[in-house]
């Protein structure tokens, strides 16, 4: 059952991320916490996402602009590594409850900003705040993508440039994150078969999404993902309170 859940969630996540620029970790982290603890689930998600983000970044490498992506990538890394160090000191039940609340808030905020077509005016302060907040969320829950997606949408000119720079950020920080999780004992060798299965699933989903991307309404897909995130967060909260 666990292998099927990992494979299907990874494939769906790869499909969503190849179209919207993020969402793989969000999709997987609505499912993986039902099979792993909140210390291990983000590690599995991160290891799988590494395969997706690295292949997407390589495929779109000509559109990567280091002037755009290097500062937030470095800030994200610092915040993420710092947050991971605190996971072992947290009550996992409380952390899971907090994660459910976080999903509901995240989905609600993204749904509201999507409907209002909110644009972010980028300043050095906005870069620092977005990057550090995304890094903390990425370190704790393996979900920093939505915040950085909003940021990169504001600083890039077209879909390819947005995808290339966002995936470059995610690829670098997935490497940083999984390395830190291995060093802290959250990702162990027995998880490798699940990671390899997940990478295969996520790459299949990615290829399908890239082929269909130009024919799908990305705005509608994002809204479905946001609603699903809210629902999953609510289910997680109810399960922890019962």
pLDDT in 10s for each residue of the chain, 242 residues:
788 889 988 998 888 877 776 778 888 888 888 888 888 988 999 999 887 788 878 888 899 999 989 999 999 999 999 999 888 777 777 877 887 888 788 778 777 776 555 555 778 898 999 899 889 988 888 888 777 877 887 788 877 888 889 889 999 999 999 999 999 999 999 999 999 999 899 888 878 877 776 566 667 766 776 777 787 778 778 877 76
- pLDDT at position 47 is 92
Question: What are the two backbone dihedrals, phi and then psi, of residue 90, each rounded to the nearest 5 degrees?
Answer: -100, 150
- pLDDT at position 182 is 93
- CB neighbour list of residue 228: distance below 8 Å, 6 or more residues apart: 27, 30, 107
- pLDDT at position 216 is 62
| DSSP character at residue 121 | P
- pLDDT at position 118 is 53
- pLDDT at position 82 is 93
**87/27 Cα distance (integer angstroms):** 21
**154/128 Cα distance (integer angstroms):** 15
CA angle 240/229/148 to nearest 5° reads 120
| DSSP character at residue 120 | P
Residue in 154, 207, 160 with CA at minimum distance from that of residue 64: 160
User: How far from chain centre, in Å, is Cα 194?
Assistant: 18
Rounded to two decimals, what is the model's pTM?
0.78
Q: Within 13 Å, how many C-alpha atoms sit on residue 60's CB side?
A: 24
């Amino acid at each position: 059952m666990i292998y099927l859940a990992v494979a299907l969630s990874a494939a769906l996540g790869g499909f969503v991320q190849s179209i919207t620029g993020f969402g793989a970790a969000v999709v997987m982290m609505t499912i993986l916490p039902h099979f792993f603890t909140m210390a291990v689930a983000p590690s599995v998600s991160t290891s799988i996402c590494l395969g997706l983000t690295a292949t997407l970044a390589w495929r779109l490498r000509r559109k990567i602009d280091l002037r755009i992506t290097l500062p937030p990538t470095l800030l994200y890394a610092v915040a993420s590594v710092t947050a991971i160090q605190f996971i072992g000191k947290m009550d996992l039940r409380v952390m899971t409850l907090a994660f459910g609340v976080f999903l509901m808030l995240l989905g609600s905020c993204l749904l509201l900003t999507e409907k209002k077509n909110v644009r972010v005016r980028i300043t050095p302060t906005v870069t620092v705040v977005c990057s550090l907040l995304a890094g903390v969320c990425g370190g704790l829950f393996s979900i920093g993508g939505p915040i950085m997606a909003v940021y990169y949408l504001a600083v890039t000119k077209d879909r390819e440039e947005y995808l290339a720079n966002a995936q470059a950020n995610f690829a670098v920080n997935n490497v940083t994150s999984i390395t830190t999780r291995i060093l802290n004992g959250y990702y162990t060798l027995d998880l490798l078969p699940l990671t390899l299965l997940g990478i295969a699933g996520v790459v299949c989903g990615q290829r399908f999404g890239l082929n269909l991307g130009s024919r799908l309404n990305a705005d509608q897909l994002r809204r479905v993902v946001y609603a699903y995130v809210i629902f999953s967060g609510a289910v997680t909260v109810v399960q922890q309170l019962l």
